[in-house]
Structure 1
Amino acid sequence: MINREIIRIKIVQLTYAYYQNGNKNIDTAEKELYFSLSKAYDLYNFMLSIIIALTKEGKRHVEVAQSKAMREGTEQPSTKFIYNRFALQLEENKMLNDFIAKQKKTWDDEPEFIKKLYTQITESNIYKEYMDKAEDDYTADREFWRKIYRTFIQDNESIDSILEDMSLYWNDDKEIIDTFVLKTIKRFEEKNKATQELLSEYDSEEEKDFARKLFRAAILNANEYQRYMSDASRNWDFSRLAYMDVIIMQIAIAEMVTFPNIPISVTINEFVDLAKLYSTPRSGSYINGMLDTIARHLVHSGKLMKHIEPRKKANDNNEKQ
């Protein structure tokens, strides 16, 4: 699950913190990096467990409604929501239950929020259409929860606030974790029952190694990489650059130099996107130009053995019609 996109985000955050903290111990910082990555995996499990919490809330409502119906001799409430096949399978999932058993905080700590979210769901057209449909099978049950997650959980400021209070490590993780949760819902199969595999913490050992190498290269070669930046910023006062811009470019150069199989364009695009997220409004275009200039210098000087596309030449008539 932990892929290079998450790793780059964490390394930008941890490298910035490394320079801000007085105690610059790279071994300690590396342990903090891996801990931060493990917290992203915790969030993935935690967001899956919200489906279980909402199903339990539904059961409480149905039990109350059933008691009332028995007293008054009225029609019993539908149990379609609480017996949703996908939700019940998730509730029994061995991997998720192992995670829940080890956690101190659960969605049970947020009863008022879960009640409010459950009400929003049951008042929605998605819920009403699902409950009214004659179609009643596992695929429909799973698709219902995929729609609910995308509509009510994926972009939810209240959830963001709750997560921020629970863990400082989760501030910037939810957007990408949501994509993994939706991917997991889609890949569930009824036949797998409680043994359905969730996404593993790392896609491979290669990703874990990528995190360590990139972080260490960015820190240990900082002076060399910043010299490249200074040389490339001839028309700028390097000392006046936004500090986060320097950090982002430092890590980007480390990736270009350390990983021969990652194309230059991929590295530049990834870190330009991070600049838009973490730095100033103008940082993206500036960092794009700087990294392109640095990459060309390194390739032409033989310090970087990668292909780089030649710069596009303007036509002789300045793009005349």
Structure 2
Amino acid sequence: MQSLFAFKGTESDDFKKDERFLFQSIDKMSDLYFSMLALLIELQKKANSKLELSQKKLLATKEDINPNRKFADNAVLQFVSSNTMLKEVIEKRKLNFWDLDFEYVDVIYKAVLESDLYKNYMAKGPSDLKEDKDFIIDIYTEIIAPNDKLYDYFEDQQITWVDDLPVINTAIVKTFTKLKLTKPETFLIPELYKDEDDRVFAKDLLYKTLLNRTKFVEEIAAKTTNWDADRLASLDGVLLQMALCEFQKFPSIPVKVTINEYLEIAKEYSTPKSSVFINGILDKIVKEYKENNVHNKIGRGLM
């Protein structure tokens, strides 16, 4: 979607530069994932350093000497921070930029400490893994993921990360949901592609959409006479072109799967009305295909 939206050439162009952009952008998603985990490591480090400093106070209170270590010792944070393979990846890719940009760690740390989530969590007694997981997932989804300063920071770091954030945030929450302390270190280092077919599909979808762009735009325009032309030139037009490409050039992908996927993408990245618009256009096109018996899918129940 990003690559197609950024494309300014014609169907006769050499698409190699667009292919490079596509795969570089996909590879950078891994960097964003590891950067977010590096941020969690830094949060735990900060929690520990604060506790150590309080114990060294000249007039330390009983609470300073024997502090509540529940947050610093959270099982999920411990699992992430003690993962040597993860730390090696972060160091190798030079993704621990939080040492230099520590003010963002401070912002998140302060927001966590001031939250009711933190106060309620710390007020309870010793926790089990489920409570620790629930707490980290809650502060991640309610404090870290929606933080505007962090959002702006990532936009400055890598332009494509703004669009990748929802995907990465969802992936991290799913990872924590499935986390068990018996999991191997590789659990936090997922493969970017499920298999080589995934990589091939990404390239094929890019090339086949670009090579058939004029035809797809004409087909979409014929179904959108009552819609503003600007909408077709926007992200909605790109998503419709990609959907038509899957309809026509990928016979093994069920039509319903294609429609559902692009509706979800539209909800996440386009305007509030986009999913309704896209659903209406695709529904018209699919009905026409059925009536004319064209672009049949391979396999049972795929149309």
What interval of TM-score do these two structures reach, taking the shorter chain for normalisation?
0.7 to 0.9
Q: CA deviation at 1:281?
A: 5.9
1:61 aligns with 2:41: no
Q: Which residue of 2 aligns with 1:7?
A: none
Superposed CA RMSD: 2.9
The alignment partner of 2:139 has SS state of helix
Instruction: Tell me: CA distance 1:86–1:241, structure 2 relative to 1, closer, same or farther (3 Å).
Output: closer
Q: CA deviation at 1:180?
A: 0.8
Q: Which residue of 2 aligns with 1:85?
A: 75
Q: Is the 8 A contact 2:205 2:245 kept in 1?
A: yes
Q: Output one character per residue of 1:124-162: Cα deviation in whole Å (capped at 9) or x when no partner.
A: 232233333222444433332222212211222121111
Tell me which of 23, 31, 35 is aligned to 1:42. 31
1:170 aligns with 2:157: no
Q: CA deviation at 1:238?
A: 9.6
Q: Which residue of 2 aligns with 1:246?
A: 237
Between 211-220 and 108-117, the greater mean CA deviation after superposition: 108-117
Please give the alpha-carbon distance, in whole angstroms, between the structure 2 residues aligned to 1:267 and 1:193.
35
Amino acid at match of 2:2: Q
Instruction: Tell me: CA distance 1:217–1:49, structure 2 relative to 1, closer, same or farther (3 Å).
Output: same
The alignment partner of 1:171 has SS state of helix
Q: CA deviation at 1:185?
A: 1.2
Q: CA deviation at 1:164?
A: 0.7
Q: Output one character per residue of 1:50-108: Cα deviation in whole Å (capped at 9) or x when no partner.
A: 2111111112211210101xx32532123332232321221122342132112334222
Please give the alpha-carbon distance, in whole angstroms, between the structure 2 residues aligned to 1:190 and 1:173.
28
Show structure 2 runs of 5+ residues with no match: none
Q: Which residue of 2 aligns with 1:154?
A: 145
1:74 aligns with 2:65: no
Q: Which residue of 2 aligns with 1:192?
A: 183
Please give the alpha-carbon distance, in whole angstroms, between the structure 2 residues aligned to 1:138 and 1:308.
42
Tell me which of 110, 113, 121 is aligned to 1:122. 113
Q: Is the 8 A contact 1:58 1:81 kept in 2?
A: yes
Amino acid at match of 2:278: I
Instruction: Tell me: CA distance 1:85–1:213, structure 2 relative to 1, closer, same or farther (3 Å).
Output: same
Q: Which residue of 2 aligns with 1:312?
A: none
Q: How many residues align?
A: 295
Between 205-214 and 58-67, the greater mean CA deviation after superposition: 205-214
Map 1:224-243 onto structure 2 (within 5 A). Answer: 224-233=215-224, 235=225, 242-243=232-233
Q: Is the 8 A contact 1:296 1:308 kept in 2?
A: no
- Quick check: which has more Rg, 1 or 2? 1
Q: Is the 8 A contact 1:38 1:201 kept in 2?
A: yes
Instruction: Tell me: CA distance 1:99–1:24, structure 2 relative to 1, closer, same or farther (3 Å).
Output: farther
Q: CA deviation at 1:163?
A: 0.8
Please give the alpha-carbon distance, in whole angstroms, between the structure 1 residues aligned to 2:230 and 2:133.
53
Please give the alpha-carbon distance, in whole angstroms, between the structure 1 residues aligned to 2:201 and 2:100.
36
Between 127-136 and 157-166, the greater mean CA deviation after superposition: 127-136
Instruction: Tell me: CA distance 1:303–1:115, structure 2 relative to 1, closer, same or farther (3 Å).
Output: same
Instruction: Tell me: CA distance 1:38–1:293, structure 2 relative to 1, closer, same or farther (3 Å).
Output: same
The alignment partner of 2:182 has SS state of helix
Q: Which residue of 2 aligns with 1:294?
A: 285
Q: CA deviation at 1:115?
A: 1.5
Q: Which residue of 2 aligns with 1:6?
A: none
Please give the alpha-carbon distance, in whole angstroms, between the structure 2 residues aligned to 1:23 and 1:171.
30
Amino acid at match of 2:118: Y
Q: CA deviation at 1:303?
A: 2.9
Q: Output one character per residue of 1:237-288: Cα deviation in whole Å (capped at 9) or x when no partner.
A: 9977631243322211001112223222332343344445655665544433
Q: Which residue of 2 aligns with 1:4?
A: none
Tell me which of 247, 250, 257 is aligned to 1:256. 247
Q: Which residue of 2 aligns with 1:15?
A: 4
Q: Is the 8 A contact 1:214 1:254 kept in 2?
A: yes
Please give the alpha-carbon distance, in whole angstroms, between the structure 1 residues aligned to 2:130 and 2:229.
58
The alignment partner of 2:156 has SS state of helix
Tell me which of 68, 84, 94 is aligned to 1:94. 84
Q: CA deviation at 1:17?
A: 1.2
Q: Output one character per residue of 1:183-229: Cα deviation in whole Å (capped at 9) or x when no partner.
A: 11122222236454433212333322221121111011223323323
Show structure 1 runs of 5+ residues with no match: 1-11, 310-321
TM-score (norm 2): 0.84
Instruction: Tell me: CA distance 1:249–1:111, structure 2 relative to 1, closer, same or farther (3 Å).
Output: same
Map 1:135-146 onto structure 2 (within 5 A). Answer: 135-146=126-137
